[in-house]
Amino acid sequence: MFVFFPFYGITLRYQVGSVFSKVFDSIGILCLLAGGLAVSFSVLGIFTGRSINTKTFIIGIVLLWVGCWCTGVVLKLFGNTIGGSGVSENPGYH
């Protein structure tokens, strides 16, 4: 194993990375779907005459945030940005 590892170690690293990337993308997509449904149901509850369920709304926001973190998607929800990197696109003087 130690004889072949220097030759195949680099490709093994990229294969393991691509597997983890697919796993995190799948988890992120599921979180985005569940969070979107939770936020939608809690907001639609206002129009049906029920009060907004804050527990469902907060769980939906957290699921959206986890999904954005896993997939790299940036969402705008009620004027607030969810996801994205903390580094600005134009670093330097402001």
What pLDDT score does 90 carry?
Answer: 53
Q: What is the mean pLDDT of each successive set of 10 residues along the chain, which is 94 residues long?
A: 59 76 90 93 85 87 88 76 59 50
Residue 68 burial (CB count, 10 A): 20
Which of helix, strand or coil describes residue 18? helix
User: How many Cα atoms occupy the beta-carbon half-sphere of 91 within 13 Å?
Assistant: 3
Please tell me the distance from the alpha carbon of residue 55 to that of residue 63, in angstroms, as a whole number: 12
What pLDDT score does 52 carry?
Answer: 75
Domain boundaries, the chain: 5-81
What pLDDT score does 94 carry?
Answer: 47
